[in-house]
A and B are shown apart, each in its own frame.
Chain A
Amino acid sequence: MQYTLLILLLPLLSFIVLGLVDSKWKPKVAGTIGTVVLTIITVLSYFTAFEYFTTARLDGVYQKIIPFHMEWLRFTEYLHIDLGILLDPISVMMLVVITTISLMVNIYSLGYMKNEKGFERYYAFLSLFTFSMLGLVVATNIFQMYIFWELVGVSSYLLIGFYYTKPSAVAAAKKAFIVTRFADLGFLIGILILSFYTKTFDFGILTSANPAVFSGFAGVTFLGFSALSWAMALIFIGGAGKSAMFPLQIWLPDAMEGPTPVSALIHAATMVVAGVFLVARLFPIYVDYTPHVLHGIAYVGAFTSLFAAAIACVQTDIKRVLAFSTISQIGFMMVSLGVSGNGGHEGLGYMASMFHLFNHAMFKGLLFLGAGSLIHAVHSNEMSHMGGLRKYMPVTHITFLIACLAIAGIPPFSGFFSKDEIMAACYEFSPYMGAFMTFTAGLTAFYMFRLYYGIFWGKEHKHEHTPHESPIAMAFPLVFLATITVFAGFIPFGHFVTSDRANYDIELDNMVAGISVLVAIIFIALATFMYRKESDIPKKLAKSFSGLYKAASRRFYIDEVYMFITKKIVFNSISRPLAWFDRNVIDATMNGFASSTQWTSQKIKGVQSGQVQQYAYVFLLGTLLITALILFI
């Protein structure tokens, strides 16, 4: 399966070509190149998936295939950085997800970004992102993953800041970069600890369930936890940063400053699930050696999902609502991984998480693209500027509704199946966790339908010109993704992706499914009751819970806390003294060298007078002195 290398190389090539020619070509050419390349690699990855899932099974277990591998840098006997392609169920699944969404976004952008300045740059960055994301998922070793991890961070930064003339976009890009970079520091330290004791970066060795690999960790503890726990927790921090887990979620809502298709691709479907992918990739280590860290991940995920869902209920900017919804759904995936065991029925959570990742990518991509379509039509992000759009935009309306139903967990849409598996896994872990997640799922249904009704129903807003359905380039991806969303639930996912890579038949737990569907319907009904028609109920509710409402709409002041910590504490007590030290001690020392050199040379300048006679005196006296010294001493 050597051709998988092409999947990586083609987007890189496209990035280089598009990035170099920049504005030499007509924008349309650049868009076409990007889309064609994406189409090719999408076909290639579908083919890879087909070939892998039909042939690679050995004794009922999918084997890991490494079609390409090279040693890139060798430092010492153990420390060497390799590049390669690793195919296993999750990476193949991710290939499919990434290329599909990427292709959709590329097609969509042909319409959405038309006539934008920097069209070629946009496509170049999209290619870069696709390349790095693909490189991330097929990484054979944790360091390669880290390299591509940073690359997706960079491309995310570039795309958020695409409208670089807009200060808020620049600030958002910086924020995203700094926050994730900060988290990546944890990731890097984790990698270093892990590889220091195991003497390898390779996933194959790390996840081989061979205790000898971790024998180096024996007895190494720090602050009461073993070094391995620390390493895995730190690695998770990196994942939490990319996946916007509490308290590192602050960058994701701001990242919505980027173009909407970018939000769909990077900040909903692919990059933000990198953290989930990371945990899934290292799952054997988590589950076998550091189950408490895994449980910690579950609690973080659970809290984040509720927290984000609560905020999503009061946001008015449709992209922000979707952003918090994304955070919340990623929380679901994390929880699902966190409560999972290894193998067979125990590993239900792992399977459910990956399944949800797949479904979520599709329907959240769809939601964002739909949102983009709406923004394209009404030129505003605010829910209050929309309302009653269902008449004007039927395609967007139907596809959006499908996505909302899917995310709310209504059968037979895809979200129902994966969410149901997550619920089942949570109930098996503990009934409290199950109940908690069921409530959060209900909230999900509520805020999604609040959004849906706010946009398509309710009072019609006066538009400057009548909203119209989007062009075919934008409508096609919507329909395509909606189709996937409708049917993806019936994919026998357990046959493909499980924690032990063996076959697992999903059985619907009727009890759990019934409860979650019921809860979802109750919350949808509530939303319908409150937002279907213009009514006073939301305002009254907001008034009676004004404190909570205000806190939620200010995102529970997390940003303010960050600002306080960074500006007041870090800047004042650390940065300022450091700056003072730098300016007055380090710089002053250097300046001192310079000025003392200058002073000295001013003083001794007279020696080099250019007066021959003066030199002659010195020469003569020196000669006489030396002669005297030689003769008389």
Chain B
Amino acid sequence: MGDLFTNFLSGSVPMEAYLGVSLIMFFAGVYGFLSRKSLLMILISIELMLNAADINFVVFNRYLYPGQMEGFFFALFTIAIAACETAVAIAIIINIYRNLTSVEVGELDEMKE
């Protein structure tokens, strides 16, 4: 904690701070994923987790390898992939809703057994 305070005074944001933010965001996503029933809510949770991962990429890039761009590009690609995933997932959700008039995970067992 002392370091945190020193860094706070010395004029630069410490890396742990960023990591801490992304950590909170990530586990908020985990909680949402585990505790909600709606598919849309689950999707929102997934977006949260992906965002947390993006932040981590960027932060590590900036702090550990400032001369390079790997983390940056991974974050970029992740955003693209997240967009794809969201598009397909929402298409599926709408389709499910059309067929079953429900988007709750527990009730989607038509194709089981």
- A and B: real partners? yes
Report the separation of the CA atoms of residues A613 and B34 in the bound assembly, to the nearest whole angstrom.
5
Within 8 A of B (CB), among A575-633: 610-613, 616-617, 620
Residue of A610, A613, A616, A620 touching B109 (CB-CB under 8 A): A610
Residues of B within 8 A of A616 (CB): 30, 33-34
Counting chain A residues whose Cβ lies within 8 A of the other chain, the interface size class is under 10
Contact A612 B30 (CB under 8 A): no
Report the separation of the CA atoms of residues A475 and B112 in the bound assembly, to the nearest whole angstrom.
79
What's the dominant secondary structure at chain A's contact region?
helix
Per-position binary interface string of chain B over residues 21-35, scored 1 when its CB falls under 8 Å from any chain A CB and 0 otherwise: 000000000100110
Report the separation of the CA atoms of residues A335 and B89 in the bound assembly, to the nearest whole angstrom.
94
Q: How many A-B contacts if CB must be within 8 Å?
A: 14
Within 8 A of B (CB), among A44-76: none
Report the separation of the CA atoms of residues A245 and B34 in the bound assembly, to the nearest whole angstrom.
87
Residue of A610, A613, A617, A620 touching B112 (CB-CB under 8 A): A610
Chain B: minimal CB distance from A580 (Å): 39
Contact A612 to B42, CB < 8 A, known contacts A617-B34, A620-B30: yes
Q: Which partner residue on chain A sits nearest B35 by CB separation?
A: A613
Contact A611 B30 (CB under 8 A): no
Report the separation of the CA atoms of residues A616 and B27 in the bound assembly, to the nearest whole angstrom.
13
Q: Which partner residue on chain B sits nearest A605 by CB separation?
A: B113
Residues of B within 8 A of A617 (CB): 34
**A residues whose Cβ falls under 8 Å from a Cβ of B:** 610-613, 616-617, 620
Report the separation of the CA atoms of residues A450 and B106 in the bound assembly, to the nearest whole angstrom.
95
Q: Which partner residue on chain A sits nearest B108 by CB separation?
A: A610
Q: Is B76 an interface residue (CB 8 A)?
A: no
Residues of A within 8 A of B30 (CB): 616, 620
Contact B105 A611 (CB under 8 A): yes
Known: A613-B33, A613-B105. 9 other contacts (CB 8 A): A610-B109, A610-B112, A611-B105, A611-B106, A616-B30, A616-B33, A616-B34, A617-B34, A620-B30
A-B residue pairs in contact (CB < 8 Å), sample of 14 = A610-B109, A610-B112, A611-B105, A611-B106, A612-B42, A612-B105, A613-B33, A613-B34, A613-B105, A616-B30, A616-B33, A616-B34, A617-B34, A620-B30
Residues of B within 8 A of A612 (CB): 42, 105
Chain B: minimal CB distance from A619 (Å): 10
Chain A: minimal CB distance from B53 (Å): 13
Q: Which partner residue on chain A sits nearest B109 by CB separation?
A: A610
Residues of A within 8 A of B105 (CB): 611-613
Report the separation of the CA atoms of residues A616 and B46 in the bound assembly, to the nearest whole angstrom.
12
Q: Which partner residue on chain A sits nearest B39 by CB separation?
A: A612
Report the separation of the CA atoms of residues A442 and B76 in the bound assembly, to the nearest whole angstrom.
114
